Amino acid sequence: TFFGTMYTSDDRGILFSKSLERHLFDGQRKSDFTNITSLRGVYLTNKLDDSRIRSVISFNRGGTWRQLSKPENCNLHIHGEHSRNNRIVPMLALTEPTAVGLVIAHGTVGDSLSSSQHPDVFVSSDGGYNWRGTLRGPHHYSILDSGGLVVAVEAHRDAQVKTIFSTDEGQCWKFYNFTKQPFFFAGLASEPGTKAMSVSVWGFRPEDDGQPMWVAVTIDFQSLITRETDQDYEEWLAHSSHMKGDQERNGCVLGVKETYRRLKKQSVCRNGRGFVVNKKQSPCLCTREDYLDYGYYRHKNTSECVRQSSAPNKTLEMCLSGEEDELLTAYRKVPSDRCEGGFSPQLAVQTVKLVLILVCVGAGVVVLVAVVSAVFTVKRMVYRNG
Ligand SMILES: *[C@@H]1O[C@H](CO)[C@@H](O)[C@H](O)[C@H]1NC(C)=O
Ligand SMILES: *[C@@H]1O[C@H](CO)[C@@H](O)[C@H](O)[C@H]1NC(C)=O
Ligand SMILES: *[C@@H]1O[C@H](CO)[C@@H](O)[C@H](O)[C@H]1NC(C)=O
């Protein structure tokens, strides 16, 4: 069908809830799911809507999804594995945990992902909330110096290849002709991780005898960017691009807000080899948004948890351990949510009747020893919203 449903599990990995329907899932059993590793809780992927491919992003580990916005009522759509497989783009979206907030990807602006339109390169510096077009046409790109430096090479099959680089996450690009003798570009390679400040461009050059000769050129930016000072850093509150105005909740995702120390965009300065991601975490006050449970949905207006009419009935309570273990409580803290204080679902004691059927199983032979039907009155803890 070229699509499937994506589910996310609870913190115990037992119950799964629907996260995204019509998730693009091609014939090679691959999806466009991308973990944006440069910002906590952000996932990017594509879905199939009326045979159109559209990009969606989640900032809360798949809890909710939305389209990527661009001005003028248009949406940005990001090419994923599906497009790379079809040779529409040479590279997937690039993110690195050490380059906090930085995302580089190929995309097109419009109603849906288009394969006829040339993909351009877009950059986000806040983990996918805001995007800007940075390079026309497909490129190969690489993140160096923990995000302090971005290098790109145009992905066309012409002989003349040029390297361009940016020290401000793609706001400005500088050209560099790294060789006088042109060659056919094959790839861009750098040391794994992002600490390196050098990149190798490799390809081949046809020789007179008709045999191609492999060429690799290493460009070292070390001597170009030497500045390393404290004044070039700023504090950045992650996830602060949404919920503006609500100071208390601003930046809160899954109960925590995080402030990072990042290089200012304008500074031509390097993070250096010794760079480590520096972040401060503080817990947020809990709200209803921090709670949800399987079989419930969030009421749009009140954010109260409402039972789904299609959800399985109460037998789910017993099927795991045979005890009156409450599997569903309406308000269970969202997995990995670390909020403190604030809203707390109030406990109420409700009496329900459960019918227990005891079945004993003999050695090899199924012997129904006794079927005891008893009506137990069990005190059942039910969370009611306070
Ligand atoms: C996404 O990446 C982060 C950071 O590398 C990692 O901790 C997390 O487990 C990843 N999540 C998924 C669903 O791959
Ligand atoms: C790079 O090479 C092109 C020709 O291929 C030339 O027009 C341009 O001036 C060169 N740029 C630099 C900075 O040398
Ligand atoms: C939510 O509120 C809006 C306006 O305040 C109203 O139009 C809509 O019907 C409400 N939705 C539900 C499900 O009650």
Q: Does residue 265 surpass a pLDDT of 90?
A: no
Q: Whose CA is nearest to atom 11 of ligand 3?
A: 301
Residue whose Cα lies nearest atom 5 of ligand 1: it is 37
Ligand 2 center–CA 167 separation, angstroms: 20
Q: Cα 279 vs. chain centroid, distance in angstroms?
A: 19
How far is the centre of ligand 3, averaged over its atoms, from the C-alpha of 385 (Å)?
20
Distance in Å from the first CA to the final CA of the chain: 44
Q: What whole-number distance in Å separates Cα of residue 178 and Cα of residue 296?
A: 59
Nearest CA to ligand 2 atom 10: 177
Ligand 3 atom having least distance to the Cα of 299: 13
Q: Pick 90 or 267 by higher pLDDT.
A: 90
> pLDDT by residue (tens digit) across 207-231?
888 888 898 989 998 888 888 777 8
Contact 121, 86 (CB under 8 A): no
Residue 383: pLDDT over 60: no
Is 160 touching ligand 2 by the criterion CB < 6 Å? yes
Q: pLDDT, tens digit, for every residue of 63-98? A: 889 999 776 678 999 999 999 988 899 999 999 999
> How far are the Cα atoms of 17, 53, 160, 306, 379 from residue 335, in angstroms, in the given order?
12, 29, 51, 19, 26
Which of residues 316 and 352 earns the better pLDDT score? 316
Percentage of residues of the chain with pLDDT beyond 70: 80
Contact predicate 209/221, CB 8 Å:
no
| Ligand 2 atom 1, closest CA | 177
Q: Tell me the two tokens of residue 313.
A: 């009935």
Q: pLDDT tens digit string along 344-371?
A: 876 433 333 333 333 333 333 333 222 2
**Ligand 3 centroid from CA 369, angstroms:** 55
28 pLDDT band, cuts 50/70/90, is confident
Q: Nearest 5°: phi and psi at 59?
A: -105, 0
| Ligand of minimum distance to the alpha carbon of 9 | 1
Which one, of 300, 149, 277, lies nearest residue 225 by Cα? 149
pLDDT of residue 133: 93
Question: The pTM is what?
Answer: 0.80
Q: Please give the number of the atom of ligand 2 that sits closest to the Cα of 182.
A: 5
Res. 38: pLDDT tops 60? yes
340-342 and 285-286 as β-strands: parallel, antiparallel, unpaired? parallel
The pLDDT of residue 181 is 79
Atom 3 in ligand 1: which residue has the minimum CA distance? 37
| pLDDT for position 369 | 28
**What single DSSP character describes residue 129?**
S
Output the pLDDT for position 255.
92
Ligand 3 centroid distance, CA of 303 (Å): 12
**Which residues does a 6 A CB cutoff place in the pocket of ligand 3?**
300-301
Indicate which residue's Cα is closest to atom 6 of ligand 3. 301
Distance between CA atoms of 258 and 253, rounded to whole angstroms? 9
- φ and ψ of 47, to 5 deg: -125, 165
Distance CA 191, CA 98 (A): 14
Mean pLDDT of 291-306: 73
| Alpha helices, DSSP H, located in 272-368 | none
How far, CA to CA in Å, does 357 sit from each of 74, 260, 280, 350, 374?
58, 56, 53, 22, 8
> Distance from the CA of 113 to the center of ligand 1, in angstroms?
26
Nearest CA to ligand 2 atom 12: 177
Residues 183-197 as b/e (b if ≥16 CB within 10 A, e otherwise) read bebeebebeeebbbb
Nearest Cα to Cα of residue 372 among 347, 355, 350 = 355
Mean pLDDT of the chain: 79
For residue 23, pLDDT beyond 80: yes
| 372, burial (CB in 10 Å: exposed 0-12, middle 13-18, buried 19+) | exposed
Ligand 1 atom nearest residue 35's Cα: 1
- pLDDT of 50 strictly over 80: yes
